[in-house]
Amino acid sequence: MFTSVKPGRLVTERTEGIALVLFTACTWGLTWPQSKFLLTMLPPFSMRATCGVLGFSFAFLVAFVRGERLWPPRDQWPRLLLFSMLNYGLFIVLTTMSLVWLKASEAVVITYTLPVWASLLAWPMLGERPTLRKVLALAMALGGVALLVGADTAEATWQKLPAAGLSLAAAVLFGLGTVLAKKKPLRLPPTTSVAWQAMLGMTLMLVLALFEDPDWGRVTTGGWVSIAYISTIPLTVAYLAWFRALRMVPASTAATTVLVSPLVGVIGSGVLLGETFGPRQIVALALTLAGVALAARR
């Protein structure tokens, strides 16, 4: 039972990797309803830029305290810029724009079709040929996501299609970033890597925020609590967990397991924002969790 555990370790590397992905998924999932909540007080890019600046500042502080090297090697800059755009910049711009027109529950489930793209890209780029079990797990998980999306079709309008397309584009880009990070990780200390990717990625948000006129007096105490959460846990701690997990489990397994995020997002949207969560969503929840559990098995 414990033959695969290295001396001095209480759990296997795979178990730790999956645990890290689940932690990341839950923290990212909670970000969606809180971001939608903040959009009632602040313009979209001002909100994201504020969280982003505080986030990468926190990450650099953590890297400094840990004694990590802060300046990237010269040969790492091209891939650092690419990863920054895929994992932070373009992903956050696209998801923020989609969140303006979609419910938080709609945006999160569409965005987290990313396992489809990660699995498809992992085959030619990493040689991770999908097994029958993994295909079944992916089908079950995406079936749950489809039920969640379909639960709101009565309210859907043609005006939502562009926003759904933005969420889908974000999913494709993040799936590509996941596979590239697995194929050739950055040669940077973990916290430094997250800090630089967040800072470079947030430059897009800062430029777009210049065209907005936020009224900071509208931000409530609950709003500042949400800003504090988004700035630290999802934007720094969760990304550290994500990149570490990618070294321990296949990219396709990590991408499928992270489908817990839309479930957390939907539940959080129902609790925090009063968005609908009925029998159909409960069935979708069970189906998606079953797929995640199957993907996590050896």
Asked, for residue 209, whether it belongs to a domain, the answer is: yes
C-beta neighbour count of 170 within 10 angstroms: 26
C-beta neighbour count of 293 within 10 angstroms: 13
pLDDT tens readout for residues 241-288: 888 888 888 877 777 777 788 888 888 888 888 877 677 777 877 887
- What is the spatial distance between Cα 105 and Cα 269, in angstroms, rounded to a whole number? 6
DSSP string, 132-185: HHHHHHHHHHHHHHHHHHHTTGGG--GGGHHHHHHHHHHHHHHHHHHHHHHHS-
Residue 107 parent element (H or E): helix 104-111
Asked, for residue 137, whether it belongs to a domain, the answer is: yes
Amino acid at site 45: F
Using pLDDT thresholds of 50, 70 and 90, give the confidence band for residue 2. very low
Asked, for residue 27, whether it belongs to a domain, the answer is: no
Q: Is the pLDDT of residue 217 over 50?
A: yes
Query: 242-247, long-range: CB within 8 Å, 24+ apart, which pairs?
Result: 242/20, 242/21, 242/24, 243/181, 243/185, 243/190, 243/193, 243/194, 244/17, 244/20, 244/190, 245/17, 245/18, 245/20, 245/21, 245/24, 246/178, 246/181, 246/182, 246/185, 247/17, 247/185
Q: Which residue range(s) make up the domain with 243?
A: 34-296
Global pTM value: 0.81
Asked, for residue 89, whether it belongs to a domain, the answer is: yes
Asked, for residue 11, whether it belongs to a domain, the answer is: no
Asked, for residue 6, whether it belongs to a domain, the answer is: no
pLDDT tens readout for residues 225-241: 999 999 999 888 898 88
Asked, for residue 10, whether it belongs to a domain, the answer is: no
Q: How many domains does the chain have?
A: 1
Asked, for residue 20, whether it belongs to a domain, the answer is: no
**Both structure tokens of 163:** 């926003």
